A and B are shown apart, each in its own frame.
Chain A
Amino acid sequence: QVQLQESGPGLVKPSETLSLTCTVSGVSITGHYVSWIRQPPGKGLEWIGYMYYSGGSANYNPSLKSRVTISVDRSQNQFFLNLYSVTAADTAVYYCARDSGSSGYFPGYWGQGILVTVSS
């Protein structure tokens, strides 16, 4: 059974760094694209970025590019999101995802999501 699970703090202070981990089980990230997507409360989906499992071929949303880093630990079947200098506008449910094997770099398997609130 494919499972992706986001973990990390649910509350981050303004100007600090939002750091999340996605742990993948039941399927390997080797040979696949991993990505992060977020959804502000009551709003639509926003692409954050993707990375190939090897750590290469990364792409970030231009609106976030100066503040975001995605990294991968193949040995642990995990990948990570760091979003720097957060503000209240970064409050959202954050989803990690992996491609389906047929969907290019588009998400096929998703985590359940984790709500991260930016507040002092």
Chain B
Amino acid sequence: QSVLTQPPSASGTPGQRVPISCSGGISNIGGNYVYWYQQVPGTAPKLLIYNNSQRPSGVPDRFSGSKSGTSASLAISGLRSEDEADYYCAAWDDSLSTVVFGGGTKLTVL
């Protein structure tokens, strides 16, 4: 059972906008930055979003992050086939004194 809760799956058709949620508590998302990672099967994770909504250089602006209270969301607009991957949220947890990950959301592009 992950500290951060994500839906196990999400799907969309090419061109659609798909949101992926990440729910936590006051000790993690509520008081700290949220990070998002994309993992294409068989490869290492890639940093997509840091500090809730910032994109590293090279990440398309189709990817956006937001946070409200104890929940965060990753939105992918203009969905493309290459976006099919697992997506993980992460945050520092003040109570556990460690980094915690969500369980991951498998995104399928129909």
| CB-defined A-B contacts under 8 Å, sample of 9 | A45-B88, A45-B90, A59-B98, A100-B50, A103-B47, A106-B99, A107-B37, A110-B45, A113-B44
User: By CB atoms of chain A within 10 A, which of B54, B56, B98 has the most?
Assistant: B98
Contact A45 B50 (CB under 8 A): no
Instruction: State in angstroms the CA–CA spacing of A103 and B45 once bound together.
Output: 14
A44 within 8 A of B: yes
Contact A62 B98 (CB under 8 A): yes
Instruction: State in angstroms the CA–CA spacing of A101 and B4 once bound together.
Output: 25
Distance to closest chain A CB from B58 (angstroms): 11
Interface residue ranges of A39-55 to B (CB < 8 Å) = 44-47, 49-50
Instruction: State in angstroms the CA–CA spacing of A5 and B90 once bound together.
Output: 23
Q: Which 8 A-B pairs give the minimum distances between C-beta atoms?
A: A110-B44, A47-B99, A103-B50, A44-B104, A45-B101, A108-B47, A106-B35, A61-B98
Contact A47 B100 (CB under 8 A): yes
- CB-nearest residue of chain B relative to A107? B47
| Interface flags, B54-85, vs A, CB<8A=1, else 0 | 10100000000000000000000000000000
Chain B residues, Cβ within 8 Å of A37: 45
Contact A111 B44 (CB under 8 A): yes
Distance to closest chain A CB from B86 (angstroms): 8
Asked whether A45 and B98 contact (CB < 8 A) given A95-B44, A102-B50, A110-B46, the answer is no
How many chain B residues touch A (CB < 8 A): the figure is: 25
Asked whether A46 and B47 contact (CB < 8 A) given A100-B56, A102-B54, the answer is no
| Interface flags, B1-12, vs A, CB<8A=1, else 0 | 010000000000
Instruction: State in angstroms the CA–CA spacing of A48 and B102 once bound together.
Output: 15
Chain B residues, Cβ within 8 Å of A8: none
Asked whether A102 and B56 contact (CB < 8 A) given A60-B98, A62-B97, A108-B47, the answer is yes
CB contact between B103 and one of A44, A105, A106 (< 8 Å): that residue = A44
Chain B residues, Cβ within 8 Å of A107: 37, 45, 47
| Interface flags, A14-45, vs B, CB<8A=1, else 0 | 00000000000000000000000100000011
